[in-house]
């Protein structure tokens, strides 16, 4: 998958303009994290990676004036090729436009595009019903609704809707020019940033943590505790504090700037963090394509081909075995598992513990 993904970003005209191969710095700030990176994240013997051992080593990876922090305890490795960042929104728009050109008809908005249930006939799935009451019949139905998929089908605990937090700060045009074509700076327990958006001059920063769930008693699942996604254009104040801690370590001159954008971003974790792309064992006309587990966006150029292969029964066996329907992996699922992720309090957090006055306020033009 990784080979197909990178080839797509580099060569497919639909996606290539939105891939910025600027390199990546993978780092940690404790001996345990640094050891984990050395053993699990990179090949530190590879000449492609340059070891970063001091604050000055980090600062020299970018133009003077960008990284001004002391990087307390930080060590890492700088890989210059085969990595970088994608402009996800523009890549999605490009894919949407190309799909329309090829004849795909998108039905969007509420209520006409809001799927409320799958439609069943004699045990098989025959389409989907939208909130306006219309039933959309189909010979084959693909369920690929991300974290929302769990609300439309019983996945037998194979999916855990999990959210992460992101924020933007505004830069001046001059700062945006200085920050152009920078490598991604990623601390596996503190967060990452990438260069400012060329249109709005906003710097994106994400604090790193094992994720948030929204754990509630679900009346639709026999009273089981489930994580149910919701939308909010804010992040918890504790997440904002982590963003500012990351900035104080790396770019303290930006640490007190107001946030101009904040979001919680949902994905669906499988127990082993591999995709779930398979025919449903009880509903043969239903294909599920879910379980991005934090990896979905970077697979954008290639994932559609794998889904088509699964629909046609043509997935290679070695891949089919990995992405198959596998409820046995979730039989004793622990919703609180960090699944190998680091950061924050080093536990999966619960939005139910965040009080209403513990969310950021993002002032927008026109606010008093």
Q: Which of 332, 203, 325, 189 is nearest to 257 (CA)?
A: 203
Q: How far apart are CA 51 and CA 33, in angstroms?
A: 15
User: What pLDDT does residue 227 have?
Assistant: 96
Mean pLDDT of the chain: 95
Pairing of strands 49-52, 124-130: unpaired
Query: What's the confidence (pLDDT) of residue 110?
Result: 96
Please give the DSSP secondary-structure letter assigned to residue 65. Answer: T
pLDDT of the residue at 55: 98
| Cα 218 to Cα 231: distance, rounded to the nearest angstrom | 18
Measured CA angle at 222 (ends 218, 223), to 5 deg: 45
SS3 24: strand
Omega of the bond prior to 20 within 30 degrees of 0, cis? no
Q: Hunting for tokens 């879910």 — which residue is that?
A: 290
Nearest CA-CA partner of 280 in 153, 160, 159, 135: 153
Asked whether the predicted pLDDT for residue 173 surpasses 50, the reply is yes
Phi, psi angles (nearest 5°) of residue 308: -60, -45
At residue 364 the predicted structure's pLDDT band, cuts being 50, 70 and 90, is low
> Can you give the pTM of this predicted structure?
0.94
CA 61/CA 250 separation, integer angstroms = 12
Give the rounded percent of residues in the chain with a pLDDT score beyond 90.
90
What are 224-267's pLDDT values in tens digits?
A: 899 999 999 999 999 999 999 999 999 999 999 999 999 999 99
308 pLDDT higher than 80:
yes
Mean pLDDT of 314-322: 96
Mean pLDDT of 100-129: 98
Q: For the residues 286-308, what does the mean pLDDT come to?
A: 94
At residue 229, the pLDDT reads 97
Please say if the pLDDT value at position 347 is more than 80: yes
The 8-class DSSP code of residue 40 comes to I
* Segment 186-237, tens digit of pLDDT: 999 999 999 999 899 999 999 999 999 999 998 877 888 999 999 999 999 9
Model pLDDT for residues 351-362, shown as the tens digit of each residue:
999 999 999 998
| DSSP-based three-state secondary structure for 319 | helix
Phi, psi of 309 (to 5 degrees): -60, -40
Residue 34: pLDDT over 70 = yes
Q: Is the pLDDT of residue 366 over 70?
A: no
Structure-token match 């639909």, residue found = 14
pLDDT: which is higher, 365 or 52: 52
pLDDT at 46 over 80: no
Q: How many CB atoms lie within 10 A of CB 297?
A: 14
Show the tokens assigned to 305: 């081909």
Digit-coded pLDDT (tens) for 56-105: 999 999 999 999 999 999 999 999 988 999 999 999 999 999 999 999 99
**Separation of alpha carbons 263 and 242, rounded Å:** 15
> Which pLDDT band holds residue 368 (cuts at 50, 70, 90)?
very low
Cα 20 from Cα 249, distance rounded (Å): 25
d(CA 94, CA 97): 5
């Amino acid at each position: 998958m990784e080979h197909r993904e990178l080839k797509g970003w580099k060569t497919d005209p639909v996606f290539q303009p939105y891939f910025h191969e600027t390199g990546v710095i993978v780092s940690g700030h404790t001996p345990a994290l640094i050891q984990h990176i050395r053993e699990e994240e990179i090949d530190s013997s590879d000449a492609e990676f340059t070891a970063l051992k001091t604050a000055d080593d980090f600062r020299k990876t970018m133009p003077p004036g960008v990284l001004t922090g002391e990087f307390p305890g930080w060590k890492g490795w700088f890989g210059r090729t085969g990595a970088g960042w994608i402009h996800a929104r523009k890549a999605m728009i490009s894919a949407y436009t190309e799909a329309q050109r090829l004849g795909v008809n998108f039905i969007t908005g509420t209520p006409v595009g809001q799927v409320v249930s799958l439609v069943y006939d004699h045990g098989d799935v025959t389409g989907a019903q939208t909130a306006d009451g219309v039933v959309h019949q189909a010979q084959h139905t693909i369920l690929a609704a991300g974290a929302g998929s769990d609300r439309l089908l019983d996945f037998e605990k194979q999916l855990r809707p999990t959210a992460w937090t992101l924020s933007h700060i505004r830069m001046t045009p001059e700062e945006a020019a200085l920050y152009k074509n920078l490598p991604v700076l990623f601390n596996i327990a503190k967060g990452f940033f990438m260069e400012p958006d060329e249109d709005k001059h906003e710097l994106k920063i994400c604090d790193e943590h094992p994720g948030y769930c929204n754990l509630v008693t679900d009346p639709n699942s026999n009273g089981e505790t489930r994580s149910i996604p919701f939308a909010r254009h804010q992040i918890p104040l504790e997440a904002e504090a982590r963003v500012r801690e990351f900035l104080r370590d790396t770019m303290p001159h930006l640490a007190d700037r107001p946030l101009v954008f904040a979001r919680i971003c949902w994905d669906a974790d499988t127990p082993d963090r591999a995709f779930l792309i398979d025919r449903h064992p009880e509903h043969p006309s239903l294909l599920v394509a879910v379980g991005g587990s934090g990896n979905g966006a970077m697979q954008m150029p290639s994932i559609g081909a794998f889904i088509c292969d699964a629909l046609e029964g043509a997935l290679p066996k070695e891949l089919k075995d990995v992405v198959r329907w596998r409820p046995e992996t979730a039989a004793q699922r622990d919703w609180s598992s960090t699944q190998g992720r680091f950061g924050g309090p080093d536990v999966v957090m619960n939005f139910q513990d965040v009080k209403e006055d513990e969310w950021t306020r993002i002032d927008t033009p026109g606010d008093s």
